[in-house]
Structure 1
Amino acid sequence: MSELDLQQLLDWGRNHARWLVITGAGCSTEVGIPDYRDADGQWKRPQPVTYQAFLGDELVRRRYWARSMLGWRVMGQARPGAAHGALAQLEQQGRIELLLTQNVDGLHSVAGSREVLDLHGRIDTVRCMDCGRRHARAELQQMLLARNPEWAGLYAAAAPDGDADLEHRDFSGFEVPACPHCGTGLLKPDVVFFGESVPRERVQAGLDAVARCDGVLIAGSSLMVYSGFRFAEAAARQGKSLVAINRGRTRADALLDFKQARDVGQALTELARQV
C-alpha cells in the first residue's frame, strides 16, 4: 500500500467521525471462501439457486443440500481474517456506526464486531419453512452425513456461500431430513436467496444507519446486487461521502469520492492502526 494511498484513506477516516461500513465477499476470500464475481463485476460461475426453484423443486433441494454438505467443510471451519479483525478493532475505537455485510459467513461477529447487520442472513442457521423453528447448520450437517454416508467421501471444490462444485451426479437418491422439531417442514438456509426479498426491517435498519453516519466505507464489495447498492444510493442522495476499497469495478463508482484497488485486509489493518 503506497504512502499516498494510505494518507488519502487516513485523511478520510479522520475527517469523518462515524462510518457505515458495507462489506462483501472481498473480506472473506483471503480465508478461503470463494466469491461470485470477477474484477469487472461479472459472474465467474453460474448464478446460485433461486428461492422459487428451491421451494418448488425437490430435486433442486436435493442437489443444493448434497453440494452444501460437501461445501460445509470449508464454510463451517472458516475463521476471520485481517479485514474482519481490523473492522472489529475500528468498532472498538468508536469509528463504526454500523457494519452492514452482504456476506452470510458470520465472520464479522466471530471476529468481535457487535454492531453487525447481516443483510442477507447467516448460513450457519437453517429455518423450517413450516413451523419457523431455527436450527444450527452444524447440527443439520450431522444429520445429512448420517443419512448419506456414501456421499461423504466425495471431493468437490469449494464454491461461494458454503456451496461446492459437485456436478454430473444423480441427486435423486440424496436424502434431505425434514425439520427435527415439527417432523415435516422443509428446511432452508436462513439466508436471502436470489429472487427473495431482504426483510423490510433489515433494509430500514441500514437506511437509518445511513442517516446517522458521517460517511460510507465500502470494503470488498462490487455492490452489483441492488440490495446492497441501495444504501450507497441513499448516502449519495443525502450528500454523504462514499469511498471504496475494492479490487475491480463497483456499481457505485460514479458516486465515490475515491476508490482504492488494494488488498482490503491490508488497507483496513493500516486504517485501524493509524486512524
Structure 2
Amino acid sequence: MIVKHTCCNGKSIRFCFHLYKSNLAFVPKCNPTTTEDVRKLKEFIDKHHRLCILTGAGISTESGIPDYRSAEVGLYARSNHKPILYKEFCNSEAIRRRYWARNYVGWPRFSSLKPNITHEILRDLEYVGKVECIVTQNVDNLHSKAGSKKVIELHGTAFRIMCFNCDHKIYRHELQEVFQKLNPSMVATTQMIRPDGDVELSQAQVENFNVPACDNCGGILKPDIIFFGENIPRNIVEKVKNNIENSDALLILGTSLATFSSYRIVLQAVEANKPIAIVNIGKTRADEFMNLKLEGRCGDILSKVWQLNASNNSIR
C-alpha cells in the first residue's frame, strides 16, 4: 500500500507500507503495543519540532544485524563471544590479524544489509523538518543508506578505516580489495554475523591471513569505530551536547542505554529539561527519566504512528 500526503510545510511524501518485510531473527519477543501508546507517541512527535533522536542496535536488528544484549537472540545469549577491547587491538599483532580476518569474511554480508522501515521513517521525519539530529550508536551506516543527513555517529562507522599513526582514512570497500589481493586463497563462509560485522573463524583460517599497513605511512590500520574501552572523542561529545541543547525533546529508539556514552546523553537531556520518550523492548538504564516509554518493536510502532499521520493527512 502506498500512501501520499502533504505536510504543513508543503512537502509531499509517499509512504510505502507492507512492502518491507522485517527480518525478525534477531528481534526479541515482545507483546503488541496498544493503540493508546501509539497515539501517545504520535502526540509526542507532533508536539515537538526539533527532535534529537538517539538510536541503538534495536533499530538495526530488523535489518538482520544482531545486538549484544537482547534476551535469547542477542550475541551474548547465543555465544560466549566478547567484543574486542581497544587495548587488545592496540597491543597485539595476533589479535589484529584475527580481527581483520573475521572482518574480511563478514564484510560482504554486513555491508550489503539494507535499511528497514525505522530508518526510512526517520529519514522522512528529517525531510519534513522534525529532526534536529540523529545520534546513533550503530556503526552499520544504515541511517546514511536510508538518506538521513543529520547523523552523528557516536561510535564511528565500520565503513571507514583510519591509521593510528597519521590518521589517514580510506573507505572500508577499498581495504576489502587490498585484502583480496593479499589473501587470494582465503575462502570462508559463515552463517553467524556479529553486531560489528565480524564472524567466527578457526585459528587455522586466521594464522596465515595477511594484513596491510597504512599505504601513507606504514602505520597500523583500525576501523574508524570506538572499541570497548576506548573514549568517545571530545568533539563528538560536545557536538551531541550542543544538539541536545538546541532540540526541544529527546526520542530514544532501540537501546537499553547500557553504555555510558548513551546514558550520558539522557543525563544531558534531563539537565537541559528536555522531555524524553523511548521505544525499546525490555528495561533500560534510564527508565526513571522517561516521560513516555513504549515497549515494542521500533519498526512496528513507528509504522503505526506514520499510518495515523497518513490517515490524518498531516504532520504538524
TM norm. shorter chain > 0.5: yes
- Among 224, 228, 236, the alignment partner of 2:270 is 236
1:15 and 2:43 equivalent?
no
Deviates more, 1:12-21 or 1:110-119: 12-21
* Shift in Å, 1:38: 1.5
Deviations 1:12-69 (A, max 9, x none): 1122222110001111111111111114999435331111110100010010001101
- Among 133, 137, 148, the alignment partner of 2:168 is 133
Distance 1:192 1:73 in 2: 21
Asked if the contact 2:39/2:305 (under 8 Å) is kept, the reply is: no
Distance 1:153 1:116 in 2: 34
Query: What is the RMSD computed on CA atoms of the aligned residues?
Result: 1.9
Task: Kindly report which structure 2 residues correspond to 1:79-228, keeping only aligned pairs within 5 A, or say none.
Answer: 79-155=114-190, 157-169=192-204, 171-182=206-217, 184-228=218-262
Distance 1:153 1:105 in 2: 22
* Shift in Å, 1:153: 3.0
Letter in 1 for 2:261: S
Asked if the contact 1:121/1:191 (under 8 Å) is kept, the reply is: yes
Which residue of the partner structure matches residue 245 of structure 1? Answer: 279
- Among 36, 43, 57, the alignment partner of 1:4 is 36
The number of residues matched between the two structures is 274
Distance 1:37 1:50 in 2: 17
* Shift in Å, 1:98: 0.8
Task: Kindly report which structure 2 residues correspond to 1:253-272, keeping only aligned pairs within 5 A, or say none.
Answer: 253-272=287-306
Distance 1:112 1:219 in 2: 18
Identity of counterpart residues, as a percentage?
38
Asked if the contact 1:59/1:171 (under 8 Å) is kept, the reply is: no
* Shift in Å, 1:272: 4.0
Asked if the contact 2:254/2:279 (under 8 Å) is kept, the reply is: yes
Query: What 5-or-longer segments of structure 1 have no aligned partner?
Result: none
- Among 61, 71, 79, the alignment partner of 2:106 is 71
Q: Name the larger-Rg structure.
A: 2
SS in 2 for 1:243: strand
Distance 2:58 2:265 in 1: 18
SS in 1 for 2:125: helix
TM-score by length of 1: 0.94
Deviations 1:58-92 (A, max 9, x none): 01001000110111022111111111100000011
Distance 1:152 1:268 in 2: 41
* Shift in Å, 1:112: 1.1
Letter in 2 for 1:261: E
SS in 1 for 2:87: helix
Asked if the contact 2:67/2:75 (under 8 Å) is kept, the reply is: no
- Among 91, 113, 116, the alignment partner of 1:56 is 91
Distance 2:98 2:246 in 1: 43
Distance 2:201 2:69 in 1: 19
Asked if the contact 1:21/1:217 (under 8 Å) is kept, the reply is: yes
Letter in 1 for 2:100: W
Letter in 1 for 2:303: T
Deviates more, 1:11-20 or 1:223-232: 11-20
Asked if the contact 2:75/2:81 (under 8 Å) is kept, the reply is: no
Letter in 1 for 2:247: C
SS in 2 for 1:209: helix
Query: What 5-or-longer segments of structure 2 have no aligned partner?
Result: 1-32, 310-314
SS in 2 for 1:210: helix
Deviations 1:108-163 (A, max 9, x none): 01111111101111100101112221011111112212222333234352111111
Distance 1:42 1:164 in 2: 11
Distance 2:129 2:205 in 1: 52
Q: Cα gap change, 1:128/1:12 in structure 2, threshold over 3 Å: closer, same or farther?
A: same
